[in-house]
Amino acid sequence: MENTPKTLAQIQGTIRSARDSVWVITDEIEKLTAGASPNKNNKGNIERNVGHLKLVVADTEIVNSGEDIADLIAAIATGEAKLAEAIWPVDEDNT
């Protein structure tokens, strides 16, 4: 099965969808900054959406499209930095 190159419209659609992940990461971090207690739901949301963005920015067709994905890359860095903080509760299931 051949890989058909993505059209510009498909690439732009993928990037628009990826911006939903940027929003989720930003929203979770804003909640935590506003004083919400870190929990595995916050952490999971950030982890999943960082993972999704990593897949998107690893796609060479997207990277080589000329479309601006700086916000996606920035959200990955921001999400990873938050995940690296020592604020997360210990997962009691893995003790």
Residue 53: inside a domain, yes or no?
Answer: yes
Q: What is the pLDDT of residue 90?
A: 83
Residue 68: inside a domain, yes or no?
Answer: yes
Domain that holds residue 26: 11-87
CB-count exposure of residue 22 (10 Å: 0-12, 13-18, 19+): buried
Domain total for the chain? 1
Residue 94: inside a domain, yes or no?
Answer: no
Q: What is the pLDDT of residue 92?
A: 57
Model-wide pTM > 0.85:
yes
Element (H, E) at 6: none
Contacts of 38 (CB under 8 A, 6+ apart): 32, 87, 88, 89
What digits encode the pLDDT tens for the residues 12-53?
999 999 999 999 999 999 999 999 999 999 999 999 999 999
| Contact status, residue 48 vs residue 81, Cβ threshold 8 Å | no
pLDDT band (50, 70, 90) for residue 7? very high
| DSSP-H helix ranges across the chain | 8-33, 40-57, 60-63, 70-84
Residue 16: inside a domain, yes or no?
Answer: yes
